[in-house]
Chains A and B, each alone.
Chain A
Amino acid sequence: MNYMDYLKTQKFPLFWCGGCGNGAVLGAIVRSFAALDYTLENTVVVTGIGCWGKADDYLTTNSFHGTHGRALAFATGIKLANPKLRVIALMGDGDGVTIGGNHFIHAARRNVDVTAILVNNFNYGMTGGQYSGTTPENSLTSTSRYGHIEAGFDICKLAEAAGAPFVARTATDNPPAMEKLISEGLDKKGFSFIEVIAPCPTHFGRNNGMRQAAELMQWVKDKSVSVAKAKTMSPEELHDKLIMGKLVDVDGEDYGSKYLRVIASASSGNEE
């Protein structure tokens, strides 16, 4: 299939603001679908609520548009009930790791075979730029006018600590790298997690002196270091940095495969 076949072009133009990174992520996802030969019938895109949660509006696959923060819990049920389905959860930073943090760590721990693509723009865009669980300390948002006093999550570390077998971080300024990591994550058996850093010039940028997307991307670039380079740096040097690339890629049996053994044991009456 051509990547355009996954897009509901009649719903264009995209609802997102000028300079927003979401469109680029959506493009990388549909190109990855095409590259991996995903069928519309066998693919379920589960979204949460927020700017990025609108992504399913533009897709022609099966979809599930649920509640704020719960995408992974819906995705868990979908995947476990029909293991043949390709299940992708699209979440924002508020969605995925602020209100939905508990579902996030447990989906990773359980190693459910879904792909979670979290677009991190460091604030709640849809509701007017309030701070989220990933907003960096000292930044200004519409609810931290005196400077944010909480530290933001390193989501990839969280995913790794929770046991996710595939963890990667990328950004919208490097589309080929983004697409490659998304494709790898989609193709990986087990819980795969890709964090995509994306600009929100309308809110986070404007509130922090970066009205242009380019300025925001430069800010991200300045904070970015590659996995290879990070290995040569001290923890102090890495403070406040975003390590870009594939951070975890290990093999581990996913929940659904393990459960087949439960079914085999139960069928032979071995529960005690």
Chain B
Amino acid sequence: MKQIIFGMGNEAITEGALAAGARFYAGYPITPSSEIAELSSIRLPRLGGMYVQMEDEIGSIAAIIGASVAGVKSYTATSGPGFSLMQENLGVAVMGEIPCVIINVQRSGPSTGLATKPAQGDVMQAQWGTHGDHGIIALSPSSVQECYDLTVRAFNLAERYRTPVILLADEIVGHMREGYQIRELLPHDIIDRKKPTCPPRDYQPYDFSGEEDEIAPLAPYGSEYITRINGSGHDESGDACGRPDNAAKFNSHYLNKFRINQKDIIETKSFDLDDAEYAIITFGCSVRSSKAALKLARQKGIKAGLLQLVTIWPFPKEQVREVCSRVKGVVVPEMNLGQILGEVSKTNPGQIPIVGVNRVDGQMITPYEILARLEEVAK
């Protein structure tokens, strides 16, 4: 095989899923994610895996959750309308603590929106779309190579932290073609969920006491252990439980497990930030426009730098706060009306201007728009 493949983001996502060991896909086709379904339907059975097209996205996420508890790494791909339908059972994966990967190739919304046009409007939905308090992991690729790498990482994080992970891609990175490498993964590059080692009669699928990372081992159905999965309030054994102290313990756990492991989960990338006086903070496809804007700004004598949020959720508060604490102004380009801007603003000590560059017309933000904003802030 040649080293570099010139391929589409959606292809690289599929290759990443397969490389990470995923062998089950259930989904409902939707633009601009359908290439993932199509390629998965071809590639999975060749690897002894399975592709099944469900009746809707509610069923799709249910099926991958079920398959995951049966011991097979599972994924689905969708876009806004389908992601909305998935919110109900995304909650089951949160509360049932089931590893799985949901790829959302974002498109313009609300509702059907501009079906073939890009957007980055599902940032808040990824965290808060399903009801109740909980943490989540969302990663956002900005290149075809990152589509591959972050999909592998999404599965690893899902397995390690017994959680759904959302790959928050967008139409631009999903459909663009670029050279990328199917990196060879060594056994230690692939993480599998913790398995119980206790005697079967002692096994409780939600007992995280004694686990430093607060993650309880998960035995697949069909093993010597009995696994009881519950999307209703439950105790350590998985049995329904309505005791207030138990509810408080577990509802806090759904957030805490991300907090205590955030060093491992959160990833950002820095460009030219060392001497920067102004920072661009962005993610996904807008990283591309921002990198071009950064070069234009430097040519014009504006000392700009860029912080790319690879992990969107949990939000990289410390990294953002650190950047905000040492620059004179921040520009946040995003193809929505300020969803990340709000999170960045929350971390701001309050002295510096933090402004957005926003587009919701289905068109990519241009480097010149970002440059113009940087120039305003630097004035």
B-binding residues in A (CB < 8 A): 11, 40-42, 44, 46, 49, 54, 56-57, 60-67, 70, 73-82, 84-85, 102-103, 105-106, 110, 255, 259, 262-263, 265-267, 269, 271
For A46, the closest partner residue in chain B by CB is B66
Given contacts A62-B228, A64-B66, A81 and B59 within 8 Å (CB-CB) = no
Asked if A82 contacts B45 (CB within 8 A), the reply is no
Given contacts A62-B227, A65-B229, A76 and B42 within 8 Å (CB-CB) = no
Instruction: Give the tally of cross-chain contacts (CB within 8 A).
Output: 144
User: Residue among A62, A85, A263, A269 with the most chain B CB within 10 A?
Assistant: A62
Chain A residues in 8 Å Cβ range of B67: 77-78, 80-81
Asked if B229 contacts A64 (CB within 8 A), the reply is yes
Given contacts A78-B221, A82-B222, A103-B55, A65 and B70 within 8 Å (CB-CB) = no
B357 lies within 8 A of chain A by Cβ = no
Bound: A257/B54 CA distance, A: 18
Asked if B45 contacts A41 (CB within 8 A), the reply is no
Asked if A85 contacts B50 (CB within 8 A), the reply is no
Across the interface, B65 reaches (CB within 8 A) one of A56, A77, A84, A269, namely: A77
- We find that the number of chain B residues with CB closer than 8 angstroms to chain A is 48
**Listed stretches B141-149, B232-240, B247-255; interface member:** B232-240
Nearest chain B CB to A143's CB is how many angstroms away?
22
Nearest chain A CB to B222's CB is how many angstroms away?
5
Bound: A85/B65 CA distance, A: 16
User: Residue among A65, A73, A259 with the most chain B CB within 10 A?
Assistant: A73
Chain A residues in 8 Å Cβ range of B30: none
Asked if B226 contacts A40 (CB within 8 A), the reply is yes
Nearest chain A CB to B379's CB is how many angstroms away?
53
- Helix, strand, loop or mixed for chain B's interface? mixed
Chain A residues in 8 Å Cβ range of B26: 76-77
Residue interface bits B347-375, CB-to-A below 8 A is 1, else 0? 00000000000000000000000000000
For A10, the closest partner residue in chain B by CB is B239
For B51, the closest partner residue in chain A by CB is A262
A-binding residues in B (CB < 8 A): 24, 26, 42, 45-46, 48, 50, 52, 54-56, 58-60, 62-72, 74, 88-89, 91-92, 96, 220-232, 234, 238-240
Chain B residues in 8 Å Cβ range of A102: 55-56, 59
Given contacts A67-B92, A266-B45, A73 and B224 within 8 Å (CB-CB) = no
Asked if B220 contacts A82 (CB within 8 A), the reply is yes
Nearest chain A CB to B21's CB is how many angstroms away?
13
* A-B CB contact pairs (8 Å), 30 listed: A40-B226, A54-B240, A56-B228, A57-B240, A62-B221, A64-B69, A65-B228, A65-B231, A66-B96, A67-B231, A73-B59, A74-B62, A74-B63, A75-B66, A76-B26, A77-B62, A77-B66, A77-B67, A78-B66, A78-B70, A81-B24, A81-B50, A85-B221, A103-B55, A262-B45, A263-B50, A266-B42, A266-B45, A267-B48, A269-B46
Chain A residues in 8 Å Cβ range of B72: 81-82
Asked if A80 contacts B50 (CB within 8 A), the reply is yes
Given contacts A78-B70, A102-B56, A66 and B231 within 8 Å (CB-CB) = yes
Asked if B70 contacts A77 (CB within 8 A), the reply is yes
Given contacts A65-B229, A102-B55, A102-B59, A70 and B89 within 8 Å (CB-CB) = yes
Bound: A103/B55 CA distance, A: 7
For B60, the closest partner residue in chain A by CB is A73
Bound: A110/B92 CA distance, A: 24
Nearest chain B CB to A190's CB is how many angstroms away?
16
Given contacts A78-B69, A78-B221, A81-B66, A66 and B89 within 8 Å (CB-CB) = yes
Given contacts A64-B229, A74-B62, A80-B63, A41 and B224 within 8 Å (CB-CB) = yes
Chain A residues in 8 Å Cβ range of B229: 63-65
For B200, the closest partner residue in chain A by CB is A41
Chain B residues in 8 Å Cβ range of A42: 222
Across the interface, A70 reaches (CB within 8 A) one of B62, B68, B224, B238, namely: B62
Asked if A41 contacts B71 (CB within 8 A), the reply is no
Asked if A41 contacts B62 (CB within 8 A), the reply is no
Asked if B55 contacts A106 (CB within 8 A), the reply is yes
Nearest chain A CB to B297's CB is how many angstroms away?
49
Nearest chain A CB to B281's CB is how many angstroms away?
37
Chain A residues in 8 Å Cβ range of B45: 259, 262-263, 265-267
Asked if A85 contacts B55 (CB within 8 A), the reply is no
Chain B residues in 8 Å Cβ range of A41: 222-226
Nearest chain A CB to B267's CB is how many angstroms away?
30
Given contacts A67-B92, A102-B56, A77 and B221 within 8 Å (CB-CB) = no
Asked if B56 contacts A77 (CB within 8 A), the reply is no
Given contacts A82-B70, A262-B45, A62 and B226 within 8 Å (CB-CB) = yes
